[in-house]
Structure 1
Amino acid sequence: MFYLILYVVLGILGVIFAILYTNYSVAIFVGVLILFPLFSYILNIIACIMLKIDIQNEQEQIYQEEEFKVQIHIKNRSVLPIINGVLRYSYGYNIGSKERKKLKFSIKARGETIHTLHLRGEYCGSISFRFYRLSVWEYFHVFVFSKFMKESCEQVIYPKLQTRNLDVKNTTTFYNDEYDEFYEDHPGNDPSEVYEIRDYREGDKLQRIHWKLSSKRERYMVKEYSDPIIIDAVIICDNSCTYEGMERVKRWSDLLEKTIQASYSLLLNKVNHYVYWFDEEQSVGERMEVRNEQDFHTCIIRLLQCKPNKNPQAYVKYLIHSEEIKTYANVFYVGEENQELLEEKGISIKVVD
């Protein structure tokens, strides 16, 4: 701003002198004084158009309380150098306030520079980075060219995978009398579904001999029964959160950490389970079945991408009207908004501390 004011003042004084003295040399000087910064500004616009800015993070998985690096790559594809540029960006957790910062840079013609940001994922969740404005001053530092930017990226901060002591009842409960899904990699004892038919081996029960097929093949054939997939537990992630600011980020991180660690503990103990949460935008409950590591990692991603529910009553209403949840012997609750209300409505829960 100072240089712009100085430029205007000198321009006005130059015009006054040119009028008073009617001298061509003064007029030429004033013209050069006015046109040079304008010409420099045009070159500056061309250089900005040829500027490419990108953000990269080489680490695929970042866990809570780990430090990580974010690199900002700036490449100048023009033959004009940039001596004074400012890149403004914001970063922060998606559910909290964003911190705004600026990065000053200079770059030679057809050059490239890399700026490294050292950050720390104190809480689990999604952190977003967004460039929102680029400002570049021309060589006389009088005019500035600015443009808005939309480039952005997200970094997921995973919670530490620690186990929690969960009281799991051995009683198997399932809401259907007949099973719909069975394991494909090993047999079981459910006679309603045949896993495979094989040759008879010593010690096999006579009740499992397939007599019709045995008579056709003229040797004993035995039926292997299937092993049904049984869901033994439910984790209710009460993603209702009415806090604001950093307190909201802390509470949300604690909620996700407990939910994921509870699911991890059940997975290690080979307990098939569901994880429930509420989608406020769709006004429906979401459910993810976890039976193996692939399911578990998919569940983590979906939980970290979901948003806090600002309407706790809607989630309670959904849970109360869900007859399926009431049939499970192991219902684990993670949250604090609706614990007492759920117990009053007859849903027996075990709070995950």
Structure 2
Amino acid sequence: MVIMKILFAVLIVISGIFYVMYLWDFALVLFVVMLAMPVFMFIFGYTAKKRIKVEFSLKDRSVMKNQEFPVKLNIENESIFPIGKAEAVVEYYNVFNNQIHSFRLLLPIQAKNDQSVSFRISSKFCGIVKIRCAYINIFDPLRLFKFKVGKNTGTEIAVVPEGHDISGTVSYTDRINEESNKFSDIQSGDDPSEVFDLRGYIAGDKLNRIHWKLSSKKDEFIVKEYSMPVDVPSVIFLNLRCYEDSEYTLPVFDTLMETFISISKFMLENERIHNVIYFNENQGFFTERTISDTNELSEVVSELIFSISDNLYCEQPEMYFAENPTLSFSSFTFVTSAPNTDILSYINDSVDADFKNAIVVVKNYDESKTENIYGEMREIPVVIGRISNSIKDIEL
């Protein structure tokens, strides 16, 4: 573009010399036209700039990580001037780190027309991916002037973490939610408020379980099998507080989220309704959500990701325990990235639960080689990206 400006300036000088040396009408017209051309080109570009609108559109508001998703850059030109060549610079980044990826798109922009250009991107880690148009350069036909449009226009999408297979045991205890009416579909229990199944009498069955009215009609003893409550007070406490700002921040956050999803899915597969507790910065307090199926889990994950600030700010978990000093659970699982802290000792000593686990995300295998120093609580180190290999035989 600089070369074009120099070349055009030279042409203006030449036409001026031509007009001075030859006092013809043609020389005057040529000189006036050469002087007017830059003005016309500026008006051309400036008018187009004011009449061009830029926006992004996404097919979905959330996608799985490592999955490519389409993005459309929509450009609407309401002016009568076409742009032969426009240069768009698109940037995208995960808000939980500072690594910005960018690329350029070259495209014409037709007059009085709407057009779109599509591209596909993906994210290696979960979180919020922001996509923005740094700018779009448009030029006049002679490329004398450059104008920027669509600067910092953007959108965002939630990149959802993946779940991993883990092994363990979901135990049934005497702690149940007495107000709940949710029972197992595959396993009988001892709750007389709901009949799970009817079967023939087997030696050793309790007499109070015989269905006398039905037995009199069948001429044989029919026994009632009671139901197994699945709505027991089981909690996953997700501590997303960032204890270290480094290259590991995003991988640690990603592993924290995937650990939570893996444990939650494992509990759902074993018919265990449970709650998750996390700090919601948008609301400014700890939020507790019940998860009874995979749809609710997906909703919670999306809400959780959008509730986190760019700096991963999270209140100290001690605040929640100070506000709720009398906690009682069937199982309590604390997911964090800070090992050997006072909060783990507090959970071990003060939280009333039949099964207590502390899932601690660590950077490497060396940090995972720690002895369990807690009596009632089991500490399970999880190496970044190695969830299935780290969580084995967990008891919930």
Query: What corresponds to 1:139 in structure 2?
Result: 141
Deviation string 1:211-262 (CA, Å, 9 cap, x unpaired) is xxxxxxxxxxxxxx99977333111111012444653222221111111121
Cα 1:311–1:119, aligned 2, differ >3 Å: closer, same or farther? closer
Contact 1:316 1:338 in 2 (8 A): no
Cα 1:160–1:143, aligned 2, differ >3 Å: closer, same or farther? same
Contact 1:96 1:244 in 2 (8 A): no
* TM-score of the pair, normalised by structure 2: 0.67
Query: What corresponds to 1:275 in structure 2?
Result: 276
Query: What corresponds to 2:263 in structure 1?
Result: 262
Q: CA RMSD in A?
A: 3.8
Which has the higher mean CA deviation after the structures are superposed, 275-284 or 128-137?
A: 275-284
Distance in structure 2 (CA, Å) of the matches to 1:226 and 1:145: 72
Distance in structure 2 (CA, Å) of the matches to 1:11 and 1:245: 57
Distance in structure 2 (CA, Å) of the matches to 1:134 and 1:23: 44
Cα 1:316–1:242, aligned 2, differ >3 Å: closer, same or farther? same
Contact 2:82 2:111 in 1 (8 A): yes
Q: How does 1:183-202 map to 2 (within 5 A)?
A: 183=182
Q: CA deviation at 1:137?
A: 0.4
Structure 1 vs Structure 2: percent identity of aligned residues?
A: 18
Deviation string 1:63-110 (CA, Å, 9 cap, x unpaired) is 222223323344545443211212233211122223343322113445
Contact 2:128 2:157 in 1 (8 A): yes
Structure 1: which amino acid aligns with 2:63?
I
Q: CA deviation at 1:159?
A: 2.2
SS at match of 2:341: helix
Distance in structure 1 (CA, Å) of the matches to 2:168 and 2:303: 23
Query: What corresponds to 1:294 in structure 2?
Result: 295
Q: How does 1:4-43 map to 2 (within 5 A)?
A: 4-8=5-9, 10-11=11-12, 25-43=26-44
Q: CA deviation at 1:140?
A: 0.6
Distance in structure 1 (CA, Å) of the matches to 2:170 and 2:262: 15
* TM-score of the pair, normalised by structure 1: 0.74
Structure 2: which amino acid aligns with 1:232?
P
Contact 1:41 1:138 in 2 (8 A): yes
Q: How does 1:240-255 map to 2 (within 5 A)?
A: 240-244=241-245, 247-255=248-256
Distance in structure 2 (CA, Å) of the matches to 1:153 and 1:85: 21
Structure 2: which amino acid aligns with 1:349?
N
Distance in structure 2 (CA, Å) of the matches to 1:115 and 1:311: 36
Q: CA deviation at 1:169?
A: 3.5
Give 5+ residue unaligned stretches, structure 2: 195-209, 214-225, 349-355, 360-379, 383-396
Residue 303 (1) aligns with residue 304 (2): yes
Distance in structure 1 (CA, Å) of the matches to 2:65 and 2:174: 35
Cα 1:161–1:346, aligned 2, differ >3 Å: closer, same or farther? closer
Query: What corresponds to 1:221 in structure 2?
Result: none
Q: CA deviation at 1:271?
A: 1.0
Deviation string 1:297-347 (CA, Å, 9 cap, x unpaired) is 2111112213267566x4232243254684224111222125532222243
Query: What corresponds to 2:237 in structure 1?
Result: 236
Contact 1:44 1:138 in 2 (8 A): yes
